[in-house]
Amino acid sequence: MNHLNKGPSIAPPPMTPGVTIKEMVESHFTAYNAARLREGAMLWSNLMAREDVTVGLTVTGALTPAGLGASCLTPLVRRGFVDFIISTGANLYHDAHFALGLDLHQSSPYADDCRLREEGLVRIYDIVMDYRVLLKTDAFFRKVLEAPEFNRTMGSAEFHHHIGRYLGERQRILGLGDVSLLSACQEMDVPVYTSSPGDSSIGMNAAAMKLKGIGPDWDVNRDVNETAALILNAKRQGGKTGVVILGGGSPKNFMLQTEPHLQEVLGIDEKGHDYFLQVTDARPDTGGLSGATPSEAVSWGKVDPGALPHTVVCYTDSTIALPMMAAYLIETRGERTPKRLYSQRDQALDLLKREAGSAVRE
């Protein structure tokens, strides 16, 4: 008799030296959130890593200060597994420290913060950095923003593309290796957006320069239309779309609202994203977007109702899940052809304008 709810027997082999990531994930992650991590890793590897899937990644929480930009996100970008990114500005600001050769250090979450303040150190839970790291990074951004290419209106993807070029040159001159996520995204033509450009030290420095009449005016409307256009373009080319959400917050909504923008606001015929993978510690019962389930997202048109079997939520820390999933993806899939969406943004926007113009609205 076949039982719908009965899967393979739980019979993991004994742990031995030399166990690979693939063996650990597939054989030892048998239940609870370990099993969800297994399902998420396999969803990404078996389905979302296919050539016809456009993958959008969101980044929240202080992941780049913990080194996950260089260790996990940059390799995934380099290997073609991430097609565009929506991040908090803070993660992109802290990414710059690494390219500028500014050190962050392991510490303790129980450090005396008054003592840290006296010693000129700032803390992100169990990470500390010298206050001068912030000042030097601020000085870098203010100097770069004086360049002519920044003195106009632009979307955040174009802004980060230019910043990535400068960071890439700094890490090259300093001989630091491939440490900057923004630099890798610039080289791989991976668009990087932020849903609230003013909400970070990058935004604060840009605001300071604006007092002098220098720097960009961010076109947030372009970001809303451009991200939706990338999704529409992928679908109209016969492909699918998948989202990988690390944490939640504003980047999660900015990624998922691409579908309601197409369907609800622009009146374009669409069904929702095809694959959904989230790593979060947020509960769904508080009503916050960070904890909202893919099933709830179906009611908004964010996720295709038929795609619910291809959705996974893993309730754990992204600093645990991301290295495991990245290692599994690289071991099982190796690499994928980069889509280089940055250079396709205008083409995608033209498509969006045509379809929005011909949409029949109720």
Beta strands in the chain (DSSP E): 53-59, 84-87, 105-106, 121-124, 127-130, 153-154, 192-194, 217-218, 240-246, 275-280, 311-315
The answer for residues whose C-beta is within 8 angstroms of residue 149's C-beta and 6 or more apart is 162
Closest to 158 measured CA to CA, from 146, 167, 168, 150: 150
Query: Is residue 321 a contact partner of residue 314, using CB atoms and an 8 Å limit?
Result: yes
Active site (annotated) includes residue 235: no
Question: Which class for 122: exposed (0-12), middle (13-18), buried (19 or more C-beta within 10 A)?
Answer: middle
Q: Which amino acid, 107?
A: S
Query: Is residue 101 a contact partner of residue 174, using CB atoms and an 8 Å limit?
Result: yes
CA atoms of 245 and 45, how far apart (whole Å): 15
Measured at the CA of 30, the angle between CA 77 and CA 304, to 5 degrees, comes to 55
The gap from C-alpha 250 to its chain's centroid, in whole angstroms, comes to: 12
Q: Of these residues, 235, 240, 302, 339, which one is catalytic?
A: 302
The runs of H, that is alpha helices, within 27-176 are 32-43, 68, 74-78, 89-99, 113-118, 131-144, 156-173
Catalytic residue numbers read 302
